[in-house]
Structure 1
Amino acid sequence: MFSIHMTRLHELTVVLYAFSVLLYFFDFLNHNRKANRIAFWLLAFVWVLQTVFLFLYMVKTGRFPVLTIFEGLYFYAWVLITLSLGINRLLRIDFIVFFTNILGFIVMVIHTFVPEQYGSHVVGKQLVSELLLIHITMAIVSYGAFSLSFVFSLLYLLQYDLLKRKKWGKRLLRLADLHKLERSSYILAVIGVPMLMLSLILGLQWAFLKVPGMPWYDMKIIGSFLLLTAYSIYLYLHIVKGLAGKSLALWNVASFLIVLINFFLFGKLSSFHFWYG
């Protein structure tokens, strides 16, 4: 009975999420403030349902739910909604919630089609430790920060293109100015880089203790360090070299591709990352 209720709760969440994204899309095309408000409150309700789902899942499993790809994708989507709602509340930047939750909804759809039993529950129980949970949680939160940084860079490029082509209109006015978009993207990268670095340190420490003989050339490890390097270069270019504008935004977009590759592909090629199967 409990599983049936959990399934129905998840189905309702996905449906409401879809309506929210569609209303945001309608607002993006037609500048409809009423649609924007309805979409926002629908998304807020989705966040409540997701939070309830996570809480019930934690009660059911007795642990923080990030040890399988099924759990990790759901938590990643929850992080994206949480960050987008928070930033929208603080900065009042139109379209940030829409663009972020296109990505979040894609993650939710992928999560829906991943079987819950994906990965070994026996292995999962053997590997549970506070160190591992903190490692995975910090990694996903850093991915959430990079995701929003990527969205801000996309909005920057969109605003830049509209200004360059002198497309004056409501869409241009509703986007934040270039400096604000670039600054927001940079701040989120500043949050994501140390989070990822700490996650890698904790993950390596956990692997040293729990996985003797671990191959250090593992694709997941290599991918994580490539990701850290890409965003560290982004910060270096901005802080030391003073690079700004379109070039920096494009670098950020390219770096985010490594996030996607590392999250979805390198985990599959890993020889010991059971969380990714």
Structure 2
Amino acid sequence: MFTIEMTRLHEIMIVLYAFSILLYFLDFLHQNQKANRFAFWSLSIVWLLQTIFFCSYMYHTGHFPVLTLFEGLYFYAWILLTLSLVMNRFLRIDFTVFFTNVIGFLIMTIHTFAPEQTATREVGNKMISELLLIHITMAIGSYVLFSFSFVLSILYLLQYKWLKEKKWSHRLWRLQDLNKLEKISTIVNAIGVPILLLSLILGLQWAYLKLANVHWFDPKIIGSFIVFIEYSAILYLQERKYIFGRTLAYWNVGAFLFIFVNFFLVSRFSQFHLYF
């Protein structure tokens, strides 16, 4: 009964998610404030349904749901949607919710078609610990922050392109100025980097304590440290004024694309991250 009810709830979420994205796209094209309002409230309902699903799943399984790829994708999408709504409320940068939730909808679609994974009791007892849960939660949190930085960088590149081509459309005036977009993306990266570092330290510590044979040159471990080094290098180079503006935005985009490669492709070859 639980599975059937949650499946129906999930189907409603996907439909509402798609509907809200379409409305935001309409607003993006034609500056339709009515579509923007309907999209926001539809997305708010999606967030409410996601929260209900998340809490129900956690109650049903008896653990914080981040231990498998199936659970991790959902948690990522939920955090991303939550952050986008909060940022929209306090920063009020037009189109951030639209572009951020294009990523969220993509993740939810992948989650929908991903095979549901459940850990056996033996594996669950072995893996469930506060250290592991904090490691995974912080890693996903850092990825969400980098996702938001990616969206801001895309908006920066669009704004730069429209200004250079002197396309004085309504989309240009609704975006924040280039300096603010760059500043916020930098702040988001600066928060995400230490969170990712702490996550990596906790993950390695958990592996050392819990796993008999740890492959320290595992592709996933190497890929995760490359992500950390990429974003650390971006912050350093920007601080030293070696990169800025459009170049900085391209670096942010490239670093985020590597996160996707690391998350979905490199993990397939990992012997370390068997369950997530």
Q: Could you say which TM-score interval applies, normalised by the shorter chain?
A: over 0.9
Counterpart position of 1:160: 160
Residue 93 of structure 1 contacts residue 176 of structure 1 at CA under 8 Å; is this kept in 2?
yes
Deviations, residues 1-60 of structure 1 (Å, cap 9, x unaligned): 122111111111111111011111111111101000100011011001101111001101
Give the distance between the partners of 1:216 and 1:2, measured in 2 at CA. Answer: 40
Give the distance between the partners of 1:269 and 1:118, measured in 2 at CA. Answer: 20
1:212 deviates by: 2.0
- Equivalent residues in 2 for 1:1-277, closer than 5 Å: 1-117=1-117, 122-241=122-241, 243-276=243-276
> Unpaired runs of 5+ in structure 2?
none
Give the distance between the partners of 1:24 and 1:108, measured in 2 at CA. Answer: 17
1:184 deviates by: 1.1
1:125 deviates by: 3.6
Residue 23 of structure 1 contacts residue 35 of structure 1 at CA under 8 Å; is this kept in 2?
yes
Give the distance between the partners of 2:52 and 2:101, measured in 1 at CA. Answer: 19
Alignment: residue pair count: 276
Q: Which amino acid aligns with 1:74?
A: Y
Residue 132 of structure 1 contacts residue 202 of structure 1 at CA under 8 Å; is this kept in 2?
yes
| Percent identity over paired residues | 62
1:119 deviates by: 6.4
Q: 1:81 to 1:198 in 2, by over 3 A?
A: same
Give the distance between the partners of 1:121 and 1:224, measured in 2 at CA. Answer: 28
Give the distance between the partners of 1:249 and 1:172, measured in 2 at CA. Answer: 17
Residue 153 of structure 1 contacts residue 249 of structure 1 at CA under 8 Å; is this kept in 2?
yes
Give the distance between the partners of 2:69 and 2:149, measured in 1 at CA. Answer: 23
Give the distance between the partners of 1:245 and 1:233, measured in 2 at CA. Answer: 16
- Name the Cα RMSD after superposition: 1.2
1:209 deviates by: 0.3
Give the distance between the partners of 2:170 and 2:275, measured in 1 at CA. Answer: 45
The DSSP-based 3-state class of the residue aligned with 1:168 is coil
The DSSP-based 3-state class of the residue aligned with 1:274 is coil
1:126 deviates by: 2.1
Deviations, residues 102-123 of structure 1 (Å, cap 9, x unaligned): 0000000000001113666642
> Unpaired runs of 5+ in structure 1?
none
1:252 deviates by: 0.6
